[in-house]
Structure 1
Amino acid sequence: ADSLKKIQDKQRQLAQQRAEATGKLKDLSATRTELGRQKQQVQGKLAEARQLLNTLTAQEKQQLAQAEQTRATRGTERVDLGNITPGSGHAGAAFAAAQSKIGSPYQYAHNGPSTFDCSGLTSWAYAQANITIPRQSEAQANAGQRIYSQSQLQIGDLVFFYGDLHHVGLYAGKGMVLHAPHTGAVVRYESMSNMPYQFGVRI
């Protein structure tokens, strides 16, 4: 009787686990369907944007690029951080290297020396300080000591933005970041309040 009771209890446990697993599979399937729908929407918008861009003349494309470049440059010029004193050691050297690239164009998957994406700039800057860090921002997030409070950040610390950590820059002091923002922009200073800050990393 005891053995039979144990078997019945085990069967109930297995049935419960099976029901829970079935529910999780349904949730996963629904999530996958929703992600697929969102991907189709994004691809549709990209196709529309490409189609619209293809209707522009060469002169109009050049004017659009110049307007974006001018806007990005003006954003950099408006930032006044006073006399910035770089952090000490490797972070200070990395920040000084990044400062020398202010105005350099953003280029996806490039890590210098003349064009950069966000993690390309940070990895290049630390390489100038003889420190090797991973190339991708997600991996750079695990390259040192995490700092969650902005008040504890020091100039030259890596700072990460967005929940998936796809953007990174160098802390510039006074709530600012020195970074390579996006296509059409240049390496520049920007307020960290413009993006969802996650944490900093001290190398």
Structure 2
Amino acid sequence: MKRGLSIWKRAVTVFTLLSFPFFLTLWPVSQASATINYGEEAAAMAEILIGSPYKYGGISPEGFDASGFTQYVYKEAATNMNIPRTSVAQYKIGKAVKQTDLQFGDLVFYATGAKGKVSFVAVYNGNGTLIGATSKGVKKIKMSDKYWKDRYIGAKRIIK
């Protein structure tokens, strides 16, 4: 009886040792990256805030205006950047980017007031969309919508 139990223990031990590497190949392993795509991180932060209300002069999730929204996104995202408060001042920083070369997190600028003057800024979110604080709150918007297409001024990349 004792001998049978000993053989059984050995068999279990051998099976465990041989199967361990096999089970390791099935175990999900996190592939952590040493680099962060700050543009994608900023766009993700903007997306989290969709639905936040609009508030003139607003700078927090309790209520945003356009430039308060982009300022908040860049400060709270992994970029941890302090950018200017107004859309006009934000338009003066960074590197100009062609609309065809937009990347996640780029700032996109519009003239929603006086023709040709920057008055609105939002965060590019890929696939021809932006996220910004409109008068109806923080929304995802298609850049191809006639209203926005007609008022586009340009874009800036402020992340190096």
Q: Same fold (TM over 0.5)?
A: yes
User: 160-169 or 90-99, which moves further after superposition?
Assistant: 90-99
5+ long unaligned stretches in structure 1: 1-87
Stretches (4+) displaced over 3 A:
none
Equivalent-residue separation in structure 1 for 2:38 and 2:61 (angstroms): 19
Equivalent runs, 1:84-163 vs 2, <5 Å: 89-128=37-76, 129-147=79-97, 149-162=98-111, 163=116
* Cα drift, residue 141 of structure 1: 0.4
Aligned to 2:117: 164
Equivalent-residue separation in structure 2 for 1:115 and 1:103 (angstroms): 10
5+ long unaligned stretches in structure 2: 1-35
Q: Output the TM-score relative to the length of structure 1.
A: 0.53
- Give the percent of matched residue pairs that are identical in Structure 1 and Structure 2: 39
Q: Secondary structure, in 3 states, of the residue corresponding to 2:43?
A: helix
User: What amino acid is the match of 2:94?
Assistant: G
How many residue pairs are counted as aligned between the two chains? 113
Equivalent-residue separation in structure 1 for 2:142 and 2:64 (angstroms): 19
User: 157-166 or 193-202, which moves further after superposition?
Assistant: 193-202
Deviations 1:85-134 (A, max 9, x none): xxx63322222211111101011101113210100110000001311100
Deviations 1:134-168 (A, max 9, x none): 01000000120011x21100011000011111000
Q: Output the TM-score relative to the length of structure 2.
A: 0.67
The answer to which structure has the higher helix fraction is: 1
Aligned to 1:15: none
Q: Which of structures 1 and 2 has the bigger CA Rg?
A: 2
Tell whether the 8 Å contact from 2:53 to 2:61 is kept in structure 1 after alignment. no
Deviations 1:39-96 (A, max 9, x none): xxxxxxxxxxxxxxxxxxxxxxxxxxxxxxxxxxxxxxxxxxxxxxxxx633222222
> What value does the CA root-mean-square deviation take over the aligned residues?
1.3
The answer to which structure has the higher strand fraction is: 2
Equivalent runs, 1:1-203 vs 2, <5 Å: 89-128=37-76, 129-147=79-97, 149-162=98-111, 163-182=116-135, 185-193=136-144, 194-195=147-148, 196-203=151-158
